[in-house]
Amino acid sequence: MADLVIPSLLETLYMVAFSTIFSLLLGFPLGILLVVTEKENIWEKPKFNQILNSIINVLRSFPFLILMIVIFPLSTLLVGKSIGTTATIVPLSVAAAPFVARVIEGSLKEVDKGVIELSLSMGATTPQIISKVLIPEAMPSIILGVTLTIINIIGYSAMAGAIGGGGLGDLAIRYGHYRRETDVMIASVVIIVIMVQSIQYLGNTLSAKINKK
């Protein structure tokens, strides 16, 4: 069984790791934009904010399976195929990016308005406020948000397995469900549960450790 589970685990780790990176790259700036372009914030652009908000809402409300199918052409364009572990990274990243944007938005909004006011009173530029105040002050909360994102992507990646994404989800469905090999099913589920638990634990610990508040 190990020869079945280990490659699938590696596939899952590969998918989750890269999807996390890409979704953060996409979602982090969006999250920042959501906050700073808000009314009465440091880079007020209400129209832009409204449009960005709607786009993110639409993307967020897309059921993941459907999004994946819709995105097949994009996956083909980017990685040359629409099925397989690497190809799945594309819909996973796209699906998780708006989630990341919301998570980051939430974290940044927790930052005390007074601190931003202070930065303004000291003559900080908008980029300086973002990089020296907003992000560092929100860091403990951002780490928890990223943890949440990774766990979400693990869940999505299991689903992606159902349409040829590979990984533990794929294993659980093909062997565990279709071939009724319950032990494989149990093994995959247990591994996923352990993964989620340990990531949550790591995230909580790290966040608490860096939080000086």
Query: Could you tell me which residues come within 8 angstroms of residue 118 by beta carbon, excluding any fewer than 6 positions away?
Result: none
Query: Could you tell me which residues come within 8 angstroms of residue 106 by beta carbon, excluding any fewer than 6 positions away?
Result: 141, 145
- Contact (Cβ atoms closer than 8 angstroms) between residue 19 and residue 93: yes
> Which residues ranging from 101 to 120 are in contact with another protein (CB under 8 A)?
112, 114-115, 117-120
Question: What is the 8-class DSSP label of residue 2?
Answer: H
Which residue lies nearer to another protein by CB, 198 or 211?
Answer: 211
**Residue written as tokens 């007074």?**
114
Work out how close the CB of 109 gets to another protein at its nearest, in angstroms, rounded to a whole number.
Answer: 15
Which residue lies nearer to another protein by CB, 66 or 122?
Answer: 122
209 binds another protein (CB under 8 A): no
143 binds another protein (CB under 8 A): no
> Which residues ranging from 9 to 28 are in contact with another protein (CB under 8 A)?
none
Which residue lies nearer to another protein by CB, 11 or 137?
Answer: 137
Stretch in the footprint of another protein (CB under 8 A) among 42-50, 75-83, 121-129, 180-188: 121-129
Helices 46-61 and 85-109 cross at an angle (nearest 10°) of 130
Burial of 72 (0-12, 13-18, 19+ CB in 10 A): middle
- Cα gap 105→102, rounded to integer Å: 5
Q: Which of 139, 189, 196, 199 binds another protein (CB under 8 A)?
A: 139
Which residue lies nearer to another protein by CB, 140 or 161?
Answer: 140
Binding site for another protein (CB under 8 A): 112, 114-115, 117-125, 128, 132-133, 136-137, 139-140, 210-213
